[in-house]
Amino acid sequence: MVDPDTGRYLITPTSNNVIGDTNPDWMMGISNAFTYKDFTLGFLIDIQHGGNVWSLDQNYGESTGLYPNSAGLNDLGNPVRAPLDEGGGFINPGVLPNGSPNNVRVDASEFGEFGYAAMPNAAFIYDASYVKLRQASLTYTMPSRLLQNTFMTGIQITVTGSNLWIIDKKVPYADPEAGLSSGNLQGYLTGAMPTTKEYGLNIQVQF
């Protein structure tokens, strides 16, 4: 519901409202390996469907104009950050207290109209679903004929990679699994760093 005087969303009388649920609807993994001659390619795909996260990064970033949706053109084709008397501003989706669609334009030239200064916390709740290529590996098994004149009976060389690709996600600009510090706090994104890819090399020798 929107304030007919300011065009901003009205503040709820209570502050303990449920705005999301960190628990996913379901999770699953898909793994397989394919072998051709002396090579084996393996992979693991992780999938999460459902669950919510709240992003402090978006909450702050949209207030300060960091993200592109706080700039550009509005529904009138004018710069959204221009003053209202120059055709700027935007209209928050919602209804007025009388039930009619909101038509009150907000002046976006002021600080914070897209973020924490004016928007409700629920505006920064995102779907935590994702599909990730969690791990992939390529193994070469040296043929025994190449080891006939050596003390070795087998050699395997494996190259692995982890966190290689976020195939699909809903959270903007961040990994939905990114968290706060090193603890186990769920559903809260802040200061999210890019996902770290890891690579490994393993050589197994039998003799």
Q: Is the pLDDT of residue 181 over 60?
A: no
Using CA atoms in the order 102, 108, 113, 118, what is the torsion angle rounded to 10 degrees? Answer: -40
Label each residue of 36-84 as H, E or C: ECCEEEEEEEEEEECCEEEEHHHHHHHHCCCCHHHCCECCCCCECCCCH
Per-residue pLDDT at 120: 92
Per-residue pLDDT at 160: 97
Q: What is the mean pLDDT of residues 151-171?
A: 93
In the β-sheet with 154-169, what is the strand arrangement from edge to edge?
26-36, 39-49, 130-141, 154-169, 198-206
Q: What is the pTM of this model?
A: 0.84
pLDDT in tens, 42-74: 999 999 999 999 999 999 998 888 888 888 899
pLDDT in tens, 87-106: 999 999 999 999 999 999 99
113/63 Cα distance (integer angstroms): 6
Task: Say how many CA atoms lie within 13 Å of 159 toward its Cβ.
Answer: 4
CA R_g for the chain: 26
Q: Which helix (H) or strand (E) holds 160?
A: strand 154-169
Q: Bridge partners of 34? A: 41
Task: Say how many CA atoms lie within 13 Å of 33 toward its Cβ.
Answer: 9
Residue 144 corresponds to which tokens in the numbers above? 């025994």
Residue with tokens 């649920």: 21
Residue 175 corresponds to which tokens in the numbers above? 């990994």
Task: Return the SS3 of 145.
Answer: helix
79/206 Cα distance (integer angstroms): 68
- Under the banding of pLDDT at 50, 70 and 90, the label for residue 183 is low
Residues 82 and 88: beta-carbon distance below 8 Å: yes
Residue 169 corresponds to which tokens in the numbers above? 């996600």
Closest residue by Cα to residue 168 from 123, 136, 130, 134: 130
Q: Is 106 exposed, middle or buried (0-12, 13-18, 19+ CB in 10 A)?
A: buried
The domain segmentation of the chain, as residue ranges, is 26-206
